[in-house]
Every structure is written in C-alpha cells, then in structure tokens.
Chain A
Amino acid sequence: MSVNNFFIKILNDQILTRRSFLKWSAALGGSAALAGGLNFGLEAVGAAKEEGSQILSTSCYHNCGGRCILNAEVKDGVILRILPDQSAEDSFENPRAIPCVLGRANKRWVYAPERLKYPMKRVGKRGEGKFEKISWEEALDTIVSEMIRIKEEYGNDAFYCHYASGQVAGGIDTTYKDMGPMSRVFHLFGGYVNFYGTYSDACYSAVHPYITAAGNNSDDDLVNSKLIVLFADNSMVTRAGGKGGGYHYLKAKEAGAKFIVVDPRQSATAVTLDADWIPINPGTDVALIAALANVMVEEDIYDKEFMATHSAGFDESNLPEGAPVNSSWMAYLAGDADGVPKTPAWAAPITGIPADRIVRLAHEMANTKPCAIIQGLGWQRRAYGEQPVRALPILAAMTGNFGIKGGGTGMRYRINLGFTGGIFPAGSNPIQKSISVYMWTDYIERGKEMTSGPRDRIKGAEKLEANMKFMWNWAGNTIINQHSDINRTKKLLEDDSKLEFIVVGDVMMTSSAKFADILLPETTHYEIENVISGKGEGKTDFVLFNHKLIEPMYECKNILWIAEQVADRLGLGDEFRDGHETREDWLRDLVAVAQKGNEDFPTYEEFKKVGVYKKSRQGSIIAAADFREDPEINPLGTETGKIEIYSPHLAEQNDPDEIPAIPKYIPEWEGVSDPLREIYPLMMISHHAVQRIHSTFDNVDYLQEVHPQALWINSRDAVERGIKNGDEVKVFNKRGVVYIPAKVTNRIRPGVTSMPQGAWYTPDEEGNDTRGSANVLTKYHPTPYAKGNPQHTNLVQVEKA
C-alpha cells in the first residue's frame, strides 16, 4: 500500500481507533513520512469533544476575500475537526466571521493525498509531470545557481514573480507580488519585472479612475435600501463568509429590500434573495444600461440638475474641453453620431430581454428610492470589460442615488475598516517596470519587443530589456490552469529554451506544479504559527493568532525558512534577517502594528491565548456624500473631478472603436452577434463554483462529493442535443476539447452555457481535458485598454460524449 492510499484509508476508516492506527504505523515500518512524526488517525464516529483535546484559533485565508475565523479541535498533533468562529457576540454590529463550506473542508485539504511531500526536480519534458525526489540542499543550490546564471546572462529584467493568489493574505508567509519573504529576497537581489492588475479585476481597476475614482457605500448600508439591483454579482456565494457581503445582502432582504439580479444565470444570490431574475445575454450589459437610461430621459424621470452639476459629458453642455460634438452620453442615447437611438426595442434582441421588461426595470430603478445599484466583477472579465464598469455608475447618478444613504455609486461595494496587523517588510523593488498581469506569455515570447505603446501598455518604462527567463511561482495555478487557452500556454512552456527556469512552490500537486523545473513542498498554515489579518469584508475586521495545529507534514518547509536559505546562499542573509533570528521575532513585529493605536490589544503572549481580536466600524460609510453636497469643494478623484462619463484620458488613446471616451456597447468577438455562432452556437461563461475558490480545494473529496463539477446547460439546448442531466458531454471549440458531466437546468439562459472555473486541467492521452477545466476553451486576447483577461467571452459547441 502506498503512503497515499494509506492516508486515504485512515481518513475514511470510521472504526479505526488510535491503537489500531499505531499498529498500522508500525506495520508500515521505515516509511520516511511516518518517521517524521506523522500521526493523524481519526477517532470513531460519535466522539464528542475528546478528552485532552484542545481548541485552537486558526484561519481560512484562501483568496476569496472572506478570511474567516476557524477554530480546530486538536489532539496529539492530529486535527480532529474544524469549528467556526465562536465569538460570544454575533450581532449586526459585530457579526461572527463564520466560514462557508470551503472553510469547513480544510481538514480534508490538509490531509489530502495530493500534498507535495519533498523537493523534486523535473526529469521528463516540461509539463509532463515526471519528477525525481531531491534533497532541500540540492533544490536550493540549483535555484540559487540558476538565479545567478540568469542574472549574469540576461539581467534582472528576465526575472518574474508570477501572479499567485493562493497565499495572498498569508501573514508572514504572504507570497503575492511585492509582499512576503521571497519578495524581500528578490528585492535585495536586484528586483524583477512586476505586474499590474489582477485576474479578478483587471478592467475594473484600470478604468476605475476614469469614471468615479470612488468606491460604493459600505455593505451594511444596504439595510437602508428599498431596491437593490445587482449586475454580475453573486455575493451570496463569492462573499459567503459570515461577516461579508452576502451576510449584508441577507440582512437587507430581511429589512424589506427588494432585489433584482441581472445575470445570465439564476445564481444562488438570485434564489436566496427572492430576486426578480433578469436573464441577460452575456456581454450585452451596456446595451441594457443605455436603453434604461434612454427610457429615463424619454420619460423625464431622472435627476437633471445633478447630472448637469456633477457629471462630465452627460450632455453636450458639460463635455470636457476639446471633446468633439455629439460625443456626450445623451448624444449616444439619441443616436446623434451613429444614427442608432438606444431604445428598448434596439436593446431587446441584443440583450435577450423583452423591451417591456426593460421599460419596467427603468421605472423600478428610477422610481424606487433609495435604490442601491451594485456591480460585481464577472462582466468585466470579458472582451470589452472596460465598458460596463464605466456605464453602471451613470444609472446610479441619473436615478438620484449617487452619494446618498441606501443608494450608492454603482461601483463595487467593498469597503473595510482598515484595522490590520502588520505585513512582512518586503522592501521595495528596484525595478519599477510592470506588465499587465495577463500578458506574461507575451513577456516570455517577445519581452524585449514590449513597450508602453497601445499594444502592450507596459508601465514604468518605455520598454523591457529582456524576455522572461526565470519564473518564481508560489501558491499559484496560473502557469497553466487559470490562464486563457491552456493548449497555447502549454506549447509555449514546453520549449524550455524560451522560459529557461520555473520554480513552483505549493502544498498540492496542481496542474501548474507539473510545469516546474524545481518543485518545492510548502507547509500549510495549519503546520506553522502565523498572524493573520481578516480585513476587507463587512464592518468587522480582526487580527488572529494562527496556531500551529500539527507538525509540518512530510519534508514540507515554510516560505520564511526557504527565503532565508536562498538569501544565505546569495550572501544576503544578514540584510534579509535585519536582526530577526526566529519566526517569532517577525510575528511580534506584525502584532506590534495591531497593538499600535489599540490600547486594549493584548500583549503578544495574551493574544496567543485569546486568539482573536476584533474591531467593528461604527455607522456606515456613504461614498461620495461630500461630493454630492458640493462637487466643486469636494471633487471626485477623476481627471475632471466629476462623474466622468466622457474621459479625456480615454479619448487620448485615439481608439474610438474599442476604447471610446464614453462607455458604449461594443459587440464582442465570440459574442452574441458573432457569425462564428453558426459553428459554435453557445456562449460559454465560467462562473465561480461553490466548491472551490478559484482552483484551491478542487482536489478535496468532500467538496467534490457535495458539489460535483458540471457544465450548466439550458434544458432546451440540452434537448436539442439529446443530452440528459448527468450525461457526459464534449465541450469544444477550435482551441480544445473538455469532457464534463452536464447539469441540465432552467437556471441559465438558452444559448448560454457555464463551466465553473478552476477545475484542475487533467488531459487524457489525446490532450483533451477530462475534469472540466474551462481555460482549455478560453481565448488569449487582452482587452483593449486594461489588457485584461476576457475569460468569460467564448463560443463553444456541446454534444453528448
């Protein structure tokens, strides 16, 4: 029996007692893993709180935004069970941070058979997944000698620390760009080319300064709304942690707010909130928004005075200087420049929403006060994702809701208190150049040709001096799984004369890990002490002491230790440590930040015992309330200081078809009106699955069981294809083939299909994916301005396998 199978057996065995476990351990004898002190036999069913067990605070800091509080019952170095936040108080003012289904599955994650166990080096073709066990010495020596070689040969412009969000909130062990111990090493080593934007919000963050430069009201203010209209937002699932966005939506419902959800899917958010569901064709939201605005103008049910004083480019009278005639929003609605009035009748065939429903929605939004209008992020991960982000705030302004209680700005709602523990001092990157997060494959192929011009939009310099030759990828699955067009990426990476060296560190053998040249096993955060900040959701922030629950498994090491080892080998050890000899020395620094200004924050020792320190914001935040009051004294952070419907900066890009100065409906490639639909008729999106956060947790057995991966397809589309619920189907386009079971449902528009993103790419012998990995089918095609990822814009065909 392999060690893996042994672990599975242990985990599934109900009757196994500790005594019989020890017998098994003895039977396995010389296994290195067991000799390392691994013992986690689980107790018989029905065991109450174990005698001699301890409950310790820990966290779920995977990248959902939730950062929930966990507790764990631990005995003899074994996690017995996961418990939620158990704070005494659970009120609207100070809600518990109760973990969602993912948090509750963390025991199965820690003990998953896919855990990486020891350092390895690649022995086969890159990406093939053939590795050989090596020592830590050899692994670290190889990494350091490659760092030195590549620096000498190509310079620091050849170094890249890849986008990786698995440990973005990891306290000391944070491994996101510019943060954490390894960034500190790379900064001391001369730096690396950075990235801007994220795979989550590339378009949103790029155009945010060119519409409002503001956030939205804090989510606890939603209880003051009468009507809440959500566009592309599924917070009941994606912000499910018990103190976050979803919690506040539910509170708003209980307070009597009515919800409307605009989404191609009847999401769990639409279901739970008893929302009116408006099923829209993907990528057509700006057509809907324009038609809604048009109705409001035609019927004179909008705030004329506010638009005149608070916006730039609403009509011809308040266009910024230098803007051409007929370039305002009103001119666009009337069709003054293009001859097409943006009426409900025009929008109906594009959006799939009947004209009378559009008119009714306009009435509901204009006449119900206050009305909160909120956008999610799904609609900006599209071919022209910049457009809807800029369009929706116009409706918030026109309906008189911008800057008021119970209303909002039409932007995202996330606002937090800002109470936080410290972060690891990574120092700063001597290289200030950055590429769009999405364009790293171009950097491998033609980095030296990339410039700040419109094709590539690199920032911080005119051009790059090298192609990417060294990649550091830690706690990330974007090397292959989360990036568009897996077959394209795979071909590029297989050629190791281009990108010469890839280091991957992870806790699991992910699809990306298989592309490593050196593969390092990291401890999970249940095997090490840490200090975690839970900010960014709801009105309560917290700092928690993340206890070491169990000994490090196998030969796993933490990233601080690894960074120290690399720094020592580079002769940078003293500079790196800066007087910190132990992990605890750094942890104390992090706690000191939380203590500062919070007089009742306990001492380090007390904090370790108490586990969690919470702080709640009093009252709500109303975004841009001062701007509403006086836009001249309190301008927005936009170039014009106003709600910038017409952006001079975007006009300067001189690409009116794809980067218009005002937001416009731009028919997408592979969108609703693309003639390619004759061959690939279904528009495929890839929503966030309940059972994963991006690709994290895809291997966890409990989650696979309760939420199996499946392709959502409308029952009419299924009947046409002879597909029944649960049938294995083949999903394909010219970029690849995926096999996946079908979920036949009326909860998605006909003509639309959705493959939940994040399943680990698992090719068969012919290279076709067998697990439902959406990026086999997505197109590599950066968006016009943000250079972001359009991973929801895809055409496919589906047939019974």
Chain B
Amino acid sequence: MAEQLAFYVDIAACTGCKACQVACKDRSNLPAGVNWRRVFEYSGGEWTKEGELMVPSGLYTYFVSSACMHCEKPLCMEVCPTTAISKREDGIVLINPNRCIGCRYCQWACPYGAPQFDHDKGVMTKCDFCADLQAEGENPVCVDACPYRALDYGPLDELRAKYGDLNDPAPLPDPSITFPAVVFNPSQATRTSAKADGKIMNVEEVQK
C-alpha cells in the first residue's frame, strides 16, 4: 500500500472563519445541510463571582476544522451493505454513488459525521480529498483556502514526523475507534478526547 494520505490542521492558527468549509461547498456546489468540512467551536469554563465582580474562571475556546479522516480503519466501509465505499491505495476513502442505495448505515457508523445524505441525489456523499484535483497536481481546495495557512495535507507518516501525533482534540472521539488519518497542532487551550470538559458551542452549525 502506498503511503496513507492525511490532513493536517493547525488549531493554533484557526479563527473558525470557515473559509475551508465554504471553499469546499463552492467547489462541489454542496446544498444546504451538506458540509463535507465543518468547524467545531469548543469552549469550557464559567463565570464566577470575585468580590462584587463577575470574572471568567478557566474559560477557554478553540476551533476544530474537521472533514472525513480517511481513516486507517474506516467503519463506514465495513458497514456498507452494497460495498459502495472503498479505500484507495493512497488511503483516500471514496463513495461510489452508483452503488450507494442511501441506507445511511455509514452515517450512523462514522464517529466524525463525515458521510452525509444528499436529499436531492438520494445518495451518501462525503469529502473525497479532492482526489480529482490532486490527480492534476492541485491541492485540496480547503488547504489553499485558509487565510491563516492552518491546513495542509500529505503522507501521514511525514505529517506525524513534522507536527506530532495528536489526532483527537475534543470534541473529536476516541481515535481507537477508526484510526483517523489526521494530525492536529494544538493551541494552548486544546483538550484531548480523554479530557473533554467543555462543550460544542455551535451545535446548530455542525449537526446537519
């Protein structure tokens, strides 16, 4: 197998602007409710009284840009009853719309919410890592979209060597479920999935 491709996301450079998400939608003309890339706003802490004044206590926030993780163990592929989902040599996980029957098993199986149902087409869709653009030597659109250069991609091993191996910033799930092919650079505030003491603040924006 060729080297597994992976995304790199620099949480310490992300403002949550969603240029990546909109560039992705623009490129593939995704309808409302279908967002192959999404950005979580994750926040914890509270306000307490100090004397007569209200002060923030342990308050933190960060943003996590998240798409299909093109997992090393893609559960979506395992549960698909029609073998519509496949994993390529380079690790990219793809859905074949001609085989998909829209049963949504993959949507239920994926802990990242990556496969999403397109009502107009009646099939599941998800991030294809801009495989076609990559074939022409272009970067995935989300990578080029970030005004803060927070996104990158490349062979997973190389990204890990360069940036470390964080792959589960909260609110993302325990990585042992699917072994996501992704590397995150944490901000000072970033928690791992095991220490998730905050909550998703923009639920309506990410739960589609």
Contacts and interface: CB of A to CB of B under 8 A. Distances in A.
Interface of A: 11-15, 42-43, 45-49, 81-84, 86, 90, 98-101, 103-105, 107-108, 236-237, 240-242, 246-247, 250, 253, 266, 268-269, 271-272, 274, 277, 279, 348-349, 352-354, 357, 690, 701-703, 705-708, 714-716, 725-726, 743, 745-747, 749-751
Contact of A100 (B26, B52, B132, B147): B147
Given A354-B50, A726-B204, A701 B56 contact: no
A11 B145 contact: no
Given A14-B31, A725-B201, 11 more contacts: A43-B29, A48-B135, A101-B19, A274-B12, A274-B189, A277-B56, A349-B53, A352-B54, A353-B53, A690-B17, A726-B204
B26 A105 contact: yes
17 contacts: A12-B31, A13-B120, A15-B121, A43-B29, A45-B29, A46-B132, A48-B133, A98-B144, A98-B146, A98-B149, A241-B147, A266-B59, A271-B189, A272-B15, A277-B59, A706-B205, A743-B201
Interface stretch (B1-9, B41-49, B168-176): B41-49
B4 to A, nearest CB: 22
Contacts of A45: 28-30, 121, 125
Interface in B11-25: 12-19, 21-23, 25
B35 interface: yes
Nearest to B54: A750
Contacts of A726: 203-204
A707 B205 contact: yes
Given A82-B26, A714-B47, A272 B187 contact: yes
Interface of B: 12-19, 21-23, 25-33, 35, 39, 43, 45-47, 50-56, 59, 61-63, 118, 120-121, 125, 128, 132-133, 135-136, 138, 141, 144-149, 187-189, 201, 203-205
Given A716-B47, A745-B43, A246 B15 contact: yes
Nearest to A707: B18
A90 B144 CA distance: 11
A612 to B, nearest CB: 16
Contacts of B14: 272
Contacts of A352: 53-54
B208 to A, nearest CB: 9
A83 B24 CA distance: 11
Contacts of A49: 133, 136, 138
A40 to B, nearest CB: 11
Which among B27, B28, B147, B189 has the greatest number of chain A C-beta atoms within 10 A? B147
Contact of B148 (A84, A246, A271, A747): A246
Given A271-B61, A706-B35, A46 B28 contact: yes
B43 A746 contact: yes
B56 A272 contact: no
Contacts of A47: 132
Contact of A46 (B55, B128, B145, B205): B128
Contacts of B29: 11-12, 14, 42-43, 45
Contacts of B141: 81, 83
Nearest to B58: A746
A685 to B, nearest CB: 17
A81 B142 CA distance: 13
B205 A749 contact: no
Nearest to A244: B147
Given A104-B145, A272-B12, A706-B205, A15 B26 contact: no
Question: Which interface residue of A12, A99, A100 has the most chain B CB atoms within 10 A?
Answer: A100
Given A271-B62, A274-B12, A12 B147 contact: no
A706 B15 contact: no
A101 B16 CA distance: 10
A247 B45 contact: no
B148 A250 contact: yes
B121 A271 contact: no
Contacts of A703: 22
A98 B12 contact: no
A348 B53 contact: yes
B27 A268 contact: no
